[in-house]
A and B are shown apart, each in its own frame.
Chain A
């Protein structure tokens, strides 16, 4: 008689811990063949607020890490993905990808982390500068992370979409609360396990699973979220996000549904810039 497998209880990664929803609610997820796979926590608005609190707590420490250190941690996250490559591919295939497509998605997601890891101690040199003002002042413009940013990941690709949105934000010292693909949430559970073993401080990335209609309004109006980065929003969701954003003058960055996630064009310096504020400092020059 074959041995009965130990199935995993999926838990989202929030505040450096694996949580259940405070509500105790779950929703069943089936694999591509329609067989029951697991119950996934259906996170609530309260879970979202808790996650924002965790992200806010982690923010100052993460932003104060040296750029070199943040780069190494992102690189280590890439190492974690590489190490669990087979499991990630199996998972993506289980939820409907072909073997080749799944392998490609995992490959690009891993390489994307390495790409952004390398930017950590360079983007400032490209985006900031000294300004030649017409008075005896030393004047320079530097970048700063915005703070806590809400991410709404596209329905697909479940892993690559989430990684592509989160990586350029955390590389500069932001912390993130992300809502995983509603349709295929399980890869985000796996990503959480990799985040937990990547030296990334708890609370820097918080991954929620649940339903968009329930959580989007709170993403829109939560005043501690300084910005929203989203992909594949419906027109209604996009409008709701922007209406809510107006209440606290939140920055909104929406990527179109047709983003070519596998392409190199889906990663660049200006994705990092979307998570940055510019600060200009003046000081007199003189004795």
Chain B
């Protein structure tokens, strides 16, 4: 290992098999429940949001939105058909040519600032709704999803009247109507990522949320009404894959933006092959989180846990492959196991919960099948002995050690709380393994050495590199992938450019 300096251990000789004494709480004390009690103010039934109004679907059909934490029905959601999607596009086109598309940037900005403020006002209510509908821990929806969504509106609001600075040397113009389809892992946040830049640029929007998580989208429609946003500027159509295909394939859409799996992204790309529509694709990932022997190990372990167990691992940029430097592999694994033992899995509405419910029964099945393949292919599984609620969709945090690059759990996106651990000896091997994937969304590096961070940052073929941190997001920071993780960026100056044309 010519590139890695021998480091003198300050801990004396390693005591194999006997980790340093640590406080292990385990189940010694039972935590009292700490349920969040704010009222999510849900309606029993949600209609489509078209032309500034809530309208019933032409078909009259509705589907149930389930709370994955207890499998109880939360509300009925309208099922949009082709006619409804047509109506949404017609409303968006009208708004583009008569109202929103003609507003000066400074006025568009004020609307977006208003939306940000109104969302902040109702933050707790939205956090509870998000957790009930999606299963994520309340501490995450409260401290991350909702404030970050508001921040996206606030950030992009300020751009609306400064678009001359987006593309130096050229002027920019909006595209027209933009069709957007978003996933279920960060329903409100993905919505904000999609519509804030589109609106700042002067486009109008038809958006479809994921069928399992439509509620906060339709609650945001209430805020758009309260903000006085011109009718038709933003339209929400709800439903499953068929509705999504209608939104993506609609002839009125000048651009489509999709966040979801690589598999569906490819289907959309094929279906649009004969057209000149602009596209942004934010697809899957299989990120490597790389820990070198000189890394601050305790911080790295926290980063690894945050990297893979944040939002139950339903994160496209999750650090799902841990590449750990051989000299510290045993120590990292031992610390990880200890850390897993104290993760609290259970009721997402409990403020102490670390890992909530898996978003849907279908997703739970996919995770279980891939974990089974990991066991079958010979990787060593570890799951802490935590108790899971009897109702609802839950999965134990899982780590696999002894994983090789050919294992399915090292190649396929699991989208669940499952970490695959591989080891490496040299910097070159770490780079080779990290890049040996069709994906290229994100990567993590943990090391004390500045020059190595910069080298890794250059070598890792990924759109976001977190060095000595993981899963950090900001509206000012562009997000998006290399290779089969998609193209286009969301956030920052770079993301804005994907919602305009150069004139």
Interface on A for B, CB 8 Å cutoff? Answer: 126-127, 129, 131-135, 137, 139, 141, 144, 226, 235, 238-239, 242-243, 245-249, 251, 254, 268-270, 277-284
Contacts and interface: CB of A to CB of B under 8 A. Distances in A.
Contacts of A239: 273-274
Contacts of B270: 242-243, 246
A88 to B, nearest CB: 30
A43 B167 CA distance: 40
A129 B489 CA distance: 14
A-B CB proximity, top 7 nearest: A246-B269, A133-B474, A242-B273, A131-B476, A243-B273, A246-B270, A249-B484
Given A249-B283, A251-B487, A277-B463, 8 more contacts: A135-B472, A139-B477, A242-B270, A248-B483, A278-B494, A279-B482, A280-B463, A283-B453
Contact of B151 (A134, A242, A246): A134
Contact of A249 (B272, B281, B463, B464): B281
Contacts of A144: 458
B462 A279 contact: yes
Interface of B: 151, 167-170, 262, 265-267, 269-270, 272-274, 276, 281, 283, 438, 453, 457-458, 462-469, 472, 474, 476-480, 482-487, 489, 492-494, 502
Contacts of A133: 472, 474, 476-477
Contacts of A254: 276
A111 B262 CA distance: 42
Contact of B478 (A238, A251, A280): A280
A242 B281 CA distance: 14
A246 B467 contact: no
Nearest to B459: A60
Contacts of A269: 168-169
A10 B336 CA distance: 63
A133 B474 CA distance: 6
Given A226-B483, A282-B469, A283-B467, A131 B169 contact: no
A280 B464 contact: yes
A226 to B, nearest CB: 7
Contact of A283 (B469, B477, B502): B469
B464 A282 contact: yes
A201 to B, nearest CB: 19
Contacts of A283: 453, 467-469
Contacts of B457: 279, 281
Contacts of A131: 474, 476-478, 492
A249 B472 contact: no
B477 A282 contact: yes
A238 B272 CA distance: 11
B463 A282 contact: no
